[in-house]
Amino acid sequence: MDKKSRIYIAGHRGMVGSAIKRKLESKGYQSIICHTHKELDLTDQQAVNNFFKIEKPDYVFLAAAKVGGILANNTYPAEFIYQNLMIEANVVHAAYTYGVKKLLFLGSSCIYPKFAPQPMKEDYLLTGELESTNEAYAIAKIAGIRLCKHYNQQYGTNFISVMPTNLYGPNDNFDLENSHVMPALIRKFHEAKVENKPEIVVWGSGKPKREFLHVDDMADACVHMMENYDYMDIGEFVNIGFGKDITIQELAELIAEIVGYEGNIVYDTSKPDGTPQKLLDVNRLDRLGWKAKITLRYGIEQAYEWYISQK
């Protein structure tokens, strides 16, 4: 990419898309194309084709997706698989049709089998059963990876895929009904502190382990990949992670400390834990010259400050 390249960010209002936009702007890219969902429905094939025909982007960051936590994935699986499949198929095909130089597709670490060996290597894709609570989303993301792979094989396109671990940071979704664990806990602990609640209930046993990466690090990694590597350099896809994980109990205690909540933390074991552990193997990423820089404590402090600033 050069500074005058036409760069389309699909999903620029989301947490990842907005971080990529900030990163590109900070590096001096001058022609960033963004459209809201109201302006461009990515599940509408004709609308997507018309957009690519008119705008003619050189590069595409495909960060648009329907996302949510365990509750949302369990409640609306048909919406998760349908909307994500449509977005991916329409954007990838239009990128091929209208000669996009390079596309970066963002997947999710939930693509890996529920009981995959830890840390999870890229080679573990499709080697076992998926976690049932987010199977619909995972299958859609696997389809996105394979779309890129097979378009590259058949048409000689340069579509690369990256698989982020659990992300958090500015523009996260803090809705308790459909958010991920990090923003949900930040909001729960803040509200419990404000309301002087003697205890707070956390879903599950607290034993599952999760890896978290600040979204600004994720954006930095995505731009690094787009600037420096092609499909043949990366292979089918590359994991983007921090390289270390933490139990949900440790996470809850850290958030309580940062927020300043001093009540009791109770774990509701009647609620699902989800996958026992999700830690990405980042050796391929290391070889590509990128490492995470934002520590978990600092990142949570920043995320909490952003959440407070929005109230």
How confident is the model over 92-104, as pLDDT tens digits? Answer: 999 999 999 999 9
- DSSP 3-state of 7: strand
Annotated binding site for substrate: 188, 203, 210, 273
- Which residue intervals of the chain are DSSP H helices? 15-26, 45-55, 70-75, 77-97, 135-155, 181-194, 215-228, 231-234, 248-259, 283-287, 296-309
The stretches in the chain having pLDDT less than 50 are none
**How long a stretch of residues is the chain?**
311
What does the DSSP 8-state code read for residue 129? P
Report the C-alpha gap between 82 and 298 in whole angstroms. 37
Tell me the CATH architecture of domain 6-168+213-242+279-294.
3-Layer(aba) Sandwich (3.40)
Reported as a single tens digit per residue, the pLDDT across 299-311 is: 999 999 999 999 7
Catalytic machinery residues: 137
Residues that constitute the known binding site for NADP(+):
11-17, 106-109, 141, 164-167, 180
Q: What is the pLDDT of residues 257-299, one digit of tens each?
A: 999 999 999 999 999 887 788 899 999 999 999 999 999 999 9
**What CA–CA distance (Å, rounded) separates 237 from 134?**
20
Domain ranges of the chain: 6-168+213-242+279-294
- pTM here? 0.93
